[in-house]
Amino acid sequence: MTSQQLARKSLQTRLALAYAAGIYAAGVLVLLFVAVPLASINAATPIGHPSSSAIIETGPGISLPQLLTGSAVALILLIPVALALGWFVSGRFLRPLRAITATAKIISAGNLHRRLDLGEPMDELTELGHTLDDLFARLQASFDAQRHFVANASHELRTPLAGLRTLLEVALADPDADTDTLRSACQEALALGGHQERLVQALLALATSERGVTRWDTLDLARIVEGVLASRRDQATQKGVGLAEHLTPAVTVGDPRLIESLVANLIDNAIRHNHPDGHVKITTQTSGTQVALTVTNSGPVIPDNQIQRLFQPFQKLASDRHGRRDGYGLGLAIVNAVTQAHRATLTTSARPEGGLSITVQFARASHPNHP
């Protein structure tokens, strides 16, 4: 017999003893309330002709020894009755709990689709079952997302590795390769290595964001935006995208590295998925107990039903918007992860003329939204 079975039987035994004690105590009280009055009652005894209704003498109906003996016998007989009833009631009470335990043992990473599906009546155990069903559903979604993420990450990493291997094999297989040919092959290999490095950095940023916030510092969104914009102006100029900002102090609390990653990915996404002579506008503002960061950019028209998909890892509106493959489909996924880690609010809308408008609302520093 396993320890779990012993624990389960021990629980039923304790519940049975508790119920039996209650039943026995109720029986004792009933006997006391009945026996005490009976002990003081004198029964009427008729004397004389049987047809006469006259009562000329009274005497004790039930003697005290008889009453005590009957009560003792009743209490002795009540012990097994109380134990049997207590065991039956405790078994009925633990039946849903046993069903929950058995199903929970069956459920694992391989069959998270199983559910308890407890029906009526609605009580505390049924509510526990529904809570566990919700937990299993979230676990299933998490495992599915993890498997999907690993598959996509493996595919994204395999492509540049295969290209790098092919490039080196071709260069080594050419017996007439000169210095210029080998130098060109090395430059292409470095470019592929840089692609892999940036992808790994993006994956690490996403994993760090999903891990949650480990430090809460007071920071100004406007200053973080200024720093990110200073490092992105040359990139925007090369793409012919104009940057405009309207920054007012927006003090909040959070992890500076994660929020800087959020700002950088929002601005990079707005610049990358834009068109020549396009624009990007960044604003920070404070309203009540919230501070907001808004990034608005021009670009291709995005259907409303595609917006939420873009915030999932490795999801893009199209594989090639402008004849090139820029980005890895992780920028907005990092933004979404950082937003959730800070318990902030993310609002996205597609602009009718093209592009996106993304707003992230954080709690003000004076009203920190963290434990």
Which of 99, 108, 91 minimizes the C-alpha distance to 128?
99
Per-residue confidence (pLDDT) for residue 320, from 0 to 100:
45
At 279, the pLDDT band (50, 70, 90 cuts) reads very high
Q: What is the mean pLDDT of residues 44-58?
A: 50
Which of 70, 86, 69, 74 minimizes the C-alpha distance to 28?
74
For residue 314, CA distances in Å to 11, 309, 310, 349 come to 50, 10, 8, 20
**Cβ atoms of 360 and 336 closer than 8 Å:** no
For residue 215, CA distances in Å to 336, 339, 341 come to 18, 15, 11
pLDDT at 12 over 90: no
Q: At what angle do helices 64-106 and 124-173 cross, to 10 degrees?
A: 20
Higher pLDDT, 69 or 217: 217
pTM of the predicted model, to two decimals? Answer: 0.58
Which of 125, 94, 79 minimizes the C-alpha distance to 12?
94
pLDDT tens per residue, range 83-117: 888 788 777 777 777 777 777 777 765 677 777 77
Q: What is the mean pLDDT of residues 33-57?
A: 55
Per-chain mean pLDDT for the chain: 79
Task: Phi first, then psi: give them for residue 213, nearest 5 degrees.
Answer: -85, 125
Structure token digits, residue 283: 């604003």
pLDDT at 371 over 60: no
pLDDT at 160 over 50: yes
For residue 250, CA distances in Å to 20, 71, 76, 225, 285 come to 65, 81, 78, 11, 6
**Cβ atoms of 248 and 285 closer than 8 Å:** yes
Per-residue confidence (pLDDT) for residue 321, from 0 to 100:
43
At 347, the pLDDT band (50, 70, 90 cuts) reads very high
At 370, the pLDDT band (50, 70, 90 cuts) reads very low
Q: What is the mean pLDDT of residues 132-141?
A: 80
pLDDT tens per residue, range 321-336: 444 455 677 888 889 9
